Every structure is written in C-alpha cells, then in structure tokens.
C-alpha cells in the first residue's frame, strides 16, 4: 500500500511554499540566495497548483466490518464515481 | 436447626442483592421525601410512592451532576439510577443513587444524561484533548452506511472541494442492533489504515431511538481511542449525541463534516496565487535593493577611481614617441641599404670595364701577371661592350716592369687578329 511517506504531499509542498515566502519577505539575504528562494518558491507554487488541478478523488471501501470486529481485511474496491464535478 | 448471627444474615443478604444484575443497574421513579444533607456533602432521602418507601443515599462524588441539588428537593418527582444493596450496620435496604432525573423525561434521555455525566467525569470530553484537523487531508475515513445518501453527499462535496483526498469507507449499519458493533469495528479498522488523516462518523437525521447507537458507551470509547482526529456528524443540527461530545469536532450535519475536514481547492488555489505574488514582490524588493547597492558602489568607485584620462594621454604620448622613433629607425635603415647598393655596384667587374679596363683570360682564367702567358698563347679579351680573341707576341720580356713607355715607342701590347 502506498503511504504518503514515500511521496511529497500537498501539505508538505504548501508548508515549504509558505516558509519560502516568509524567508524571502523577511529579507536580509544575499541577492543570490534571494533569487534562489524565489525560484524555489515559484516551483513549489507551480507544483501545488498542478496537484490541485490534476487531483481526482479516490474512493475505497473496506470489507464489510459490520459483524467482524477483529480483523477487517480490506479489498481495494473502486467505487464508480461519476458525480465528481458539480 | 442452625442458628445464624445477625452479621452473617446481613452479609448474606447484601451479597445476595449485589449479585443480582438487575439490582446493580436500575432506574427507580418516586417522590423525594425526608431529605437530609450530611456535613460531608452526602444526600440521604427516601423515594416513595403511594404504597412503599425506599431509603436512598447519594454519595458526594458519585456523579458530576451539577444540577443535582436543585433536582433532589422534597416533594419532587424524580427518576433515580443506581444499585440496591444492604447497609449492614443498620440492616437497612438502601438504594445507592448515582444519577437523578426529573420525572417525565424519556427513558433514553435519562440514559443519555447519565452516560454523559459519567463520561464527562471520566474526562472523555476534555477540551484540552481536542485535536486540530489537518489542513490538507490525504486520506479521509468515513464510517457510515454504504447505501445511504450520507456517503454520497460526503463524496460529492469532497470531490468538488478537495479531490486530493482518498476517501476510505468503513461500511456499517448506523441504526439497529448491529450498529454499535459495526461503528466500533469501523473506527478500529480505519485506525489500522496507515496515514489516516481524519475519520468521520456520519448518519443522517432521525429520531433519538434511530440515533441511539451514537449514544452508546462502546462507540464513545472507540472514538476516544481513535488515533486519527475525529469528526462526528450525526443527525441534524439540533441533535446532540455522546459521540459529538467525545469527537474532536462536532459537525452539525454530514455535509458540514465534509466541508470541515477539507479546504476548498479554489480557496487554496487563490492562496497559491497570492503566495506567488508575494514571492515576486519580495524578489523585486531584493533586486531593487541589490541594484541600489550596485549603484552606490559604482558611485563610490567613480569617486575613488584613479585619473584614467591623464594616464590615457600619457599612453598616447608614449605611442606617438614610439612611432617617431620607429620611423626614424626605418629611415636610417633605408640609408644604410642605399650605401650598400652603391658599394656593391662599384665592385661589379662591368663597372671597371666601362672605365676602360679590359679583362684578359687564358683558357677561362684571368691573366694577372706577365708570366701567366707565353708567346703564342691565345687569349680572350673582354671589354665593356663585348670581347675578342688575341695572341701573345714573342716580345721583350724586359719590359715586364719599369716606367710606363711612351705611346710612340711602345708596341701594342696586344695585336688584334681580327675578332
């Protein structure tokens, strides 16, 4: 199972974007460093935006857990979803 | 016949009463009378109806019920919860009350209030342990019915607002006898999932009986035990359940829960645009600052720069001087070359011949002395404009040296034999 530890999450990217903005706004950095931060921030912003644009909600259902409180094994069941945009 | 001591009898009776499960957890209704309050804060009273009386004791600390004092008034009709036992010291049958409700409240409402008071006392509702919801959830667990409109609504809202999330459904009945086990198992199963950012337990509106599963202690404890932050979304806005009190966040409705757990991506997109603008502004400021510094530095450099123009002129002067010197050197060289040429020209034999001398050769070798020839030798004579042949005459060898003879007396040195 893919865990979010393996990939960059939106939260992580967004947090880094905020940090970059703060650092750059605080100023007092050498010009070269400022420009590097600017580039980095712009890249982060673009990647965040791409993630937002590309995202499609995924829906998964665990196996019926109703009467099986002990070991609810799961099935990777894709639920058809045609109502994503409204 | 066996004779028992009083103590044995009372102990036996107490144990008999205390082993009866019905008497251990019982609701009794009646009118409050003979109310006394001990210095320690305990309440003693009698519950009675038209036919009987029951001695009651309410120990301080048995419940957190704050409005107890106002409720337990002489003459008040109440419903009390507790256990029946025997006070052996007096041999009195006593009702150990832990919860009191005014008469007329429904059974479920009484149970609700009692559990609520108990769990509150235990600390399950502590505000200090409420966790914040993650700002950008990646995985959202939902415990609800797989068939109802609730799950569909939650998915629709999340698909529109925050499609970055994965929704994991733990299907469960949300009313009826299977509901409590299903909900508890669902919460546990979702907590087994890795990286579950938030869990919603949801159910649409219904009567108190239909929502009752969410007032069960087992559900409350499952929510309390959840590692993932928890949102309860049960019934309508006016419905409060125990689950609502235990959860980190209470959503008034399931749809609201979907809006609470995730941001709207359009809002986030706007924020990103704003951050880009902030980056540009800040970078522009840094650049301007840098350019300003550069300007200042250039200005200072101009002030302290060495007098370049003066040096430039000096260089010009030097170059000019060098040019003159080179020209002079060339001129001198040319003169030298001219002199050499004249010298060379004077050395050429043709020049000598032109001046009236002749070159005499015998067998291709220049004749330099008289003894180089003897009488009868054929000679080649070259003059300025050509040459002719000659022969040596047998004549006075005495005249080889001495003064120059006069033209009349001296015989010709060479006689032409017609060249």
Q: Which of residues 43-62 of A touch B (CB under 8 A)?
A: 45, 48-49, 51-52, 55-62
| Interface mutation target, options A14, A65, A77, chain B, most CBs of B under 10 Å | A65
Contact predicate B134/B229, CB 8 Å = yes
**B254 CB burial (10 A radius; 0-12, 13-18, 19+):** buried
Residue A2 confidence (pLDDT): 43
Helices (H), B305-387: 308-347, 349-354
- Cβ of A58 within 8 Å of Cβ of B188? The answer is no
| Res B62 pLDDT > 70 | no
pLDDT per position as a tens digit, B317-374: 888 887 777 777 777 777 777 766 666 666 667 777 887 888 888 888 888 888 888 8
Residue B417 confidence (pLDDT): 52
Between CA B166 and CA B138, with CA B151 as vertex, the angle to 5 degrees is: 15
Between CA B188 and CA A54, with CA A8 as vertex, the angle to 5 degrees is: 95
Q: Which of residues 139-168 of B touch A (CB under 8 A)?
A: 139, 146, 152, 155-156, 158-160, 162-168
Average pLDDT over residues A66-80: 46
Q: Give me the residue from B160, B182, B282 closest to A25, CB to CB.
A: B282
pLDDT per position as a tens digit, B244-294: 999 999 999 999 999 999 999 999 999 999 999 999 988 888 888 777 877
Question: What is the pLDDT confidence band of residue B309, given thresholds at 50, 70 and 90?
Answer: confident
pLDDT per position as a tens digit, B194-219: 999 999 999 998 888 889 999 999 99
Q: B185 contacts in A (CB within 8 Å)?
A: 65-66, 68-69, 72
Parallel/antiparallel/unpaired status of strands B26-37 and B77-87: antiparallel
Burial per residue of B295-334, b for 16 or more beta-carbon CB atoms within 10 angstroms, e otherwise: eeeeeeeeeeeeeeeeeeeeeeeeeeeeeeeeeeeeeeee
Q: A35 contacts in B (CB within 8 Å)?
A: 283, 286-287
Question: Would the pTM of this model clear 0.80, i.e. be above it?
Answer: no
- Cβ of B286 within 8 Å of Cβ of A29? The answer is yes
- B178 and chain A: CB distance < 8 Å anywhere? yes
| Res A3 pLDDT > 50 | no
Q: Is B401 left (phi over 0), alpha (psi -120 to 50) or beta?
A: beta
């Amino acid at each position: 199972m893919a865990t979010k530890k393996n990939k960059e999450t939106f939260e992580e990217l967004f947090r880094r974007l905020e940090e970059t903005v703060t650092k750059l706004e605080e100023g007092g950095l050498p010009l070269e460093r400022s420009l590097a931060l600017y580039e980095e921030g712009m890249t982060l912003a673009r990647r965040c935006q791409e993630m937002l644009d590309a995202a499609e909600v995924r829906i998964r259902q665990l196996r019926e857990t109703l009467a099986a409180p002990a070991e609810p094994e799961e099935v990777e069941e894709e639920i058809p979803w045609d109502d994503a945009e409204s | 016949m066996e004779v028992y001591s009083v103590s044995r009898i009372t102990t036996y009776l107490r144990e008999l009463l205390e082993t009866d499960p019905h008497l251990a957890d019982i609701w009794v209704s009646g009118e409050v009378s003979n109310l006394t309050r001990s210095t320690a804060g305990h309440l003693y009273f009698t519950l009675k109806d038209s036919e009987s009386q029951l001695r009651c004791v309410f120990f301080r600390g048995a419940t957190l019920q704050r409005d107890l004092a106002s409720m337990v008034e002489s003459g008040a009709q109440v419903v009390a919860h507790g256990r029946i036992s025997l006070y052996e010291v007096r041999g009195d049958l006593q009702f150990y009350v832990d919860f009191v409700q005014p008469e007329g409240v429904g059974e479920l409402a009484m149970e609700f209030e009692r559990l609520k008071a108990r769990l509150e006392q235990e600390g399950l509702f502590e505000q200090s342990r409420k966790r914040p919801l993650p700002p950008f959830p990646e995985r959202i667990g939902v415990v609800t019915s797989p068939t109802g409109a609730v799950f569909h609504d939650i998915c629709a809202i999340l698909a529109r607002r925050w499609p970055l999330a994965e929704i994991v459904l733990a299907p469960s009945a949300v009313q009826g006898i299977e509901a409590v086990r299903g909900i508890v198992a669902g919460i546990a199963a979702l907590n087994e999932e890795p990286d579950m950012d938030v869990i919603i337990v949801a159910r649409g509106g219904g009567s108190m009986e239909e929502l009752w599963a969410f007032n069960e202690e087992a559900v409350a404890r499952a929510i309390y035990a959840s590692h993932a932050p928890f949102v309860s979304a049960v019934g309508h806005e006016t419905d409060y359940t125990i689950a609502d009190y235990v959860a980190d966040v209470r959503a008034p409705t399931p749809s609201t829960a979907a809006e609470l757990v995730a941001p709207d991506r359009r809002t986030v997109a706007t924020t990103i645009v704003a951050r880009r603008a902030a980056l540009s502004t800040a970078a522009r400021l840094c650049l301007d600052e840098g350019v300003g510094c550069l300007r200042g530095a250039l200005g200072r450099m101009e002030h302290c720069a060495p007098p370049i123009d003066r040096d430039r002129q000096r260089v010009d002067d030097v170059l000019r001087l060098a040019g003159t010197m080179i020209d002079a050197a060339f001129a001198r060289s040319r003169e030298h070359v001219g002199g050499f040429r004249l010298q060379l020209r004077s050395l050429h034999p043709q020049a000598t011949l032109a001046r009236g001398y002749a070159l005499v050769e015998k067998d291709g070798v220049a004749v330099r002395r008289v003894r180089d020839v003897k009488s009868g030798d054929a000679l080649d004579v070259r003059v300025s404009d050509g040459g002719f042949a000659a022969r040596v005459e047998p004549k006075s060898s005495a005249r080889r040296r001495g003064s120059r003879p006069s033209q009349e007396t001296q015989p010709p040195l060479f006689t032409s034999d017609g060249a």
